[in-house]
Structure 1
Amino acid sequence: MTINRAEMLKILAEAMMPIEREYTDSELRVSGTLPPSLNGVLYRNGPGRFERGGVPYSHAFDGDGHLCRFEFAQGRVRYTNRFVRTRAYCAEEAAGRMLWRGFGTQKPGGLWTNGLRLRFKNAANTNVIWHGNRLLALWEGGAPHRLDPVTLATLGEEDFAGQLRNRFDPLSRWNSPLLPFSAHPQQDAETGELINFGLVLGHPSRLLLYRVDAQGMMAPPDVHQLDRFSFVHDIAVTARWICVLLPFADFDIPRALLGLQSPAASLKLDRDRPMQALLIPRAGGPTQLIDAVPGFIFHIAAASDRDDGGLDLRVIRYPNFPALGDVECFFREVEQTDGLPRLEWLQIDPAANRCSLSPCSEEVGFELPTVSPGPLGAKPRQIYGIGTPAGRRLPFFSAIQRFQMQTGELIQQDLGADLPGEPIPTAMRPDQEDWLLSLVYRAAERRSDLLVLRAADLAIQASIELPHAIPPGFHGCWVPTKPSPVG
């Protein structure tokens, strides 16, 4: 199937149409047969609105968070969707216009309305997790929002009994009363502990590490000072290490603060300088900073400890920082420079103070990686994700794929012009049969389906038809038992 750039841009523009209706507990039509063992709830988050008051958002990261809930029970699927009613969303909905700057979007009015406006909209649009009997919508630049797990009603910001209260200097507290809680926490399948991070701009800038036990109780954050403030989206956690990859993707802080550019527009990647791997021992002790490799990493697919004390990361690496605020520019850059993200193997050797990089699969792009849950630091058997169909340039991410770690085998389910989302595994134990759930935008019909695929070979077991289209989104989670409503 051949698709040119103009056709792909048209498909994406149609896919980005805003969500107009919220459904409540609607039964969905199923084509095929649902696995009898598939009982639980899939939650999925992503931007559901890309404009306000006729002004388009300039970056996908600014779209208003929108949650989908799919309840699987006895061969049937019921569907509920809601926008996350953040304070910013409710205020802008009432005003009918943009009231906050975003990560990549300036308010109308130029310098007068953007200069020294240090509070940015928490879009709550990046991930959703179930932990400690809480359903949380996450966005890396702010606090989580707690939701009712059945109705998806927004219950307010979650501060973990005050542990997310900002206790730094007065300017920092005024700018951000609650500390940022990133969108990529890591959960230990054995203990239930959740480990996450946040980055706070200042003099000095700070990396905050959070530990939340299985009951949802957060310990006081660990604080690590940083020499510079760069863009970090994900971290790696093993039994031995917490690893933070610090790219030389730095914000032009003066231009962003003065309102001359949005934070995203001010971000520049130094392609000649290697990112740095900050290693923090989980058992305590001195940290270590090691020069790694050039490029930029949004997502870390897997992290495992080695017997020699080092660690192996499977990362999704971009040679350039992707121009996600300008999709046409991103397409053009990829075509001219082969700038697709690839799945690569980053080996970190703390004893020798060095890193090495080798490809996992050279021929295709790879993004939105997932693995089945397991102990932190254990090497997964396979990595799932979306990617580029082999032998085809466009569309860039229209295949669901499975990379086998031991053999290096890559298999794909090519969806033509349709756009799949993150494939979410359902197996909670190694002895369970694994299924993948992926929300797919159907380009020809301008609607969305939820696909159920057999993880072993990516065969489509069932297709679940939604009553409307859902824009391409980010992350989600599978909860194998039905959560109870908040009382």
Structure 2
Amino acid sequence: MTLAPSRDSGSPTGSAAAGSASGRSGAAYDRADWASAFRNVLGELDRVPLNAVRGTIPPDLAGTLYRNGPGRLERGGHWLHHPFDGDGMITALRFEAGQAVLTNRFVRTEGWLEEEAAGRFLYRGVFGSQKPGGLLANAFDLRMKNIANTHVVRLGDQLLALWEASSPHALDPDTLETRGLTLLDGVLGKGEAFSAHPRFDPGHHGEPRMVTFGVKAGPRSTIRLMEFAASGPRAGQLLADRHDSVAGFAFLHDFAITPRYAVFLQNAVAFNPLPFVAGLKGAAQCLASKPGEQGHFLIVPRPGATAAGDSAAEPTAPIVVPAPEGFVFHHLNAFEDAATGELVVDSIFYDDFPSIDPGVDFRAVDFDTLPAGRLVRTRIDLEHRTAASTVLEERCCEFAMVNPERQGLDARYGWTAVAECERGNAPLQAIEKLDLHTGERRVWSAAPRGFVSEPVMVPRPATATSAPRAEDDGWVLNLVWNGARCASDLVILHAADLSEQAVLELPLAIPYGLHGSWAPLG
């Protein structure tokens, strides 16, 4: 695989591979290369040293990149219907003094242990995976296996493997050994939903916080907003907690924060549980957009905030504002515009809820039939409760982030995974840096045979003698599926210009993952 250098203005950097599949955009990729990443992880490694095959590991990159994602997609010859139903596997890449080591380990959930012993799947999956045995084996079996496969974050002396439909699993941050389910010192009830998308407040309220939520969905839904101390001796201590009841079924995967608000987008979707109960579909396949209906922003005041037009010190009700048409999984960031008084939210919008129907092999999915994600900026007038949106990026994108020190503030730069083609839907093969103030773009591409994952931006560490750092001073870390060698690479890019710092070929084939995080040393 040739990993091309960055180019300006979002120009494609890879050429089409022979025998590749073409979408409506005309861009090409090799479907066999893309599909080759869907496999089982066959081993667990412990602190295996890694060497850069190109470039050098920056000596001041010090910490651990944690990644989570499905690592088990098949048992006993039976393949899952959707990779998001796969058991969680954590990868840890630890950097210190210009050296790197790799550790990976499956999360020892109760369901994983049961199925390992049985040698077959014993549970249905939320995204449509069925147990062997056909309809009779699946109908009326409403049990859910906590697969702990969506995100992984460090909170105090614990590493949390997250799956938003239930409780987190606590792991040892160094060995990745599973300590077991955690209710966070009694904060959570048994089996209570706990988001897989926490946001880390860098210190808007005097100290770093992990802000997160849980949802109990139904005809009326309850959103629980929680804030935990994220550093020091109080790390993991609950600092704030509130519950809000909202009308309608709330499907919420992500949210955004500002110093004063937690911002949710309640998509206009309905849930019909009957096909799930009957064993015909997974729970997520029972979601469908409501034609002609509009979603809503739910703007929940954080502790100490005052809503527009509300003189109370602690307002009790969320602000509800109609949202633009479309469906949102992920947000890039949000901030309060001091010049206009507006709340600004940057989100990845799809024209409709993307789903894989029963009977469709996810390895053979037709990208042209799925909506492409676009980065959209919404400006919300809190006083009049109106919103106006503009498209920031038409290119198909997902998994966006800002410098974590600018979380909740007016960030100038965003880094996101994008398709190689300029228009239409296709696998994610490039990393884009977008100047959110000017619209300038830079793109690093892994095409034609590489496929990227969520970029993680790591700011360069500050020192007592260092000059003030630029917002884009640091690195972007990315796990890339290398179709040429059917294994994974860790690519380190300079965050400022996306030039290549180092490429590490991993002795491991890691399937496409979901989310990850960076934990600095110390």
| TM-score (ref. length: structure 1) | 0.91
Shift of 1:389: 2.2
Which has the higher relative contact order, 1 or 2, with Cα contacts under 8 A spaced 6 or more apart?
2
Q: Distance in 2 between matches of 1:103 and 1:194?
A: 27
Is 1:148–2:180 an aligned residue pair? Answer: no
Alignment gaps of 5+ in structure 2: 1-14, 23-27, 306-313, 463-467
Map of 1:138 onto structure 2: 162
Map of 2:268 onto structure 1: 248
- What is the correspondence of 1:169-318 to structure 2 with a 5 Å cutoff? 177-190=190-203, 191-202=207-218, 204-214=220-230, 215-218=235-238, 221-282=241-302, 283=305, 284-285=314-315, 286-307=317-338, 308-318=340-350
Shift of 1:262: 1.0
Partner amino acid, structure 2, of 1:19:
V
Q: Distance in 2 between matches of 1:210 and 1:113?
A: 38
Q: Deviation per CA, 1:304-352, whole angstroms, max 9, x where unpaired?
A: 0123543111111111211256544451314xxxx31011101111211
Q: Name which of 329, 333, 337 aligns with 2:369.
A: 333
Is 1:33–2:69 an aligned residue pair? Answer: no
Map of 1:401 onto structure 2: 432
Q: Distance in 2 between matches of 1:101 and 1:233?
A: 21
Q: Label 1:458 to 1:209 Cα distance change in 2 as closer, same or farther (>3 A).
A: same
- What is the correspondence of 1:118-129 to structure 2 with a 5 Å cutoff? 118-129=142-153
Query: Percent identity at matched positions?
Result: 36
Partner amino acid, structure 2, of 1:24:
D
Shift of 1:203: 6.1
- What is the correspondence of 1:435-474 to structure 2 with a 5 Å cutoff? 435-474=475-514
Q: Distance in 1 between matches of 2:487 and 2:83?
A: 19
Shift of 1:8: 4.0
Q: CA contact under 8 A between 1:141 and 1:181: conserved in structure 2?
A: yes
Is 1:10–2:32 an aligned residue pair? Answer: yes
Shift of 1:256: 2.0
Q: CA contact under 8 A between 1:163 and 1:219: conserved in structure 2?
A: no
Partner amino acid, structure 2, of 1:141:
A
Shift of 1:29: 2.0
Shift of 1:158: 1.4
Q: Label 1:218 to 1:118 Cα distance change in 2 as closer, same or farther (>3 A).
A: farther
Map of 1:346 onto structure 2: 378
User: What is the SS of the residue equivalent to 1:90?
Assistant: helix
Q: Distance in 1 between matches of 2:51 and 2:289?
A: 46
User: What is the SS of the residue equivalent to 2:437?
Assistant: coil
Q: Distance in 2 between matches of 1:147 and 1:291?
A: 40
- What is the correspondence of 1:384-399 to structure 2 with a 5 Å cutoff? 384-391=415-422, 395-399=426-430
Q: Distance in 2 between matches of 1:345 and 1:94?
A: 49
Q: Distance in 2 between matches of 1:76 and 1:271?
A: 53
Q: Label 1:203 to 1:274 Cα distance change in 2 as closer, same or farther (>3 A).
A: closer
Partner amino acid, structure 2, of 1:184:
H
Q: Name which of 298, 320, 331 aligns with 2:352.
A: 320
Is 1:99–2:131 an aligned residue pair? Answer: no
Q: Deviation per CA, 1:203-231, whole angstroms, max 9, x where unpaired?
A: 64321212212310125742222322232
Partner amino acid, structure 1, of 2:457:
P
Is 1:47–2:67 an aligned residue pair? Answer: no
Shift of 1:361: 1.8
Q: Label 1:381 to 1:143 Cα distance change in 2 as closer, same or farther (>3 A).
A: same
Partner amino acid, structure 2, of 1:437:
L
Map of 2:469 onto structure 1: 431
User: What is the SS of the residue equivalent to 2:123?
Assistant: coil
Q: Distance in 2 between matches of 1:322 and 1:394?
A: 12
| TM-score (ref. length: structure 2) | 0.85
Q: Label 1:58 to 1:94 Cα distance change in 2 as closer, same or farther (>3 A).
A: same
Shift of 1:40: 1.4
User: What is the SS of the residue equivalent to 2:393?
Assistant: coil
Map of 2:8 onto structure 1: none
Q: Name which of 15, 22, 25 aligns with 2:44.
A: 22
User: What is the SS of the residue equivalent to 1:212?
Assistant: strand
Q: Label 1:101 to 1:79 Cα distance change in 2 as closer, same or farther (>3 A).
A: same
Q: Label 1:9 to 1:123 Cα distance change in 2 as closer, same or farther (>3 A).
A: farther
Q: Deviation per CA, 1:137-173, whole angstroms, max 9, x where unpaired?
A: 11111111111111111111111111111xxxxxxxx
Partner amino acid, structure 2, of 1:12:
W
Q: CA contact under 8 A between 2:396 and 2:418: conserved in structure 1?
A: yes
Is 1:377–2:408 an aligned residue pair? Answer: yes
Q: CA contact under 8 A between 1:128 and 1:135: conserved in structure 2?
A: yes
Map of 2:388 onto structure 1: 356
User: What is the SS of the residue equivalent to 1:374?
Assistant: helix
Partner amino acid, structure 1, of 2:209:
E
Partner amino acid, structure 2, of 1:251:
F
Q: CA contact under 8 A between 1:146 and 1:158: conserved in structure 2?
A: yes
Q: CA contact under 8 A between 1:272 and 1:294: conserved in structure 2?
A: no
Shift of 1:302: 0.8
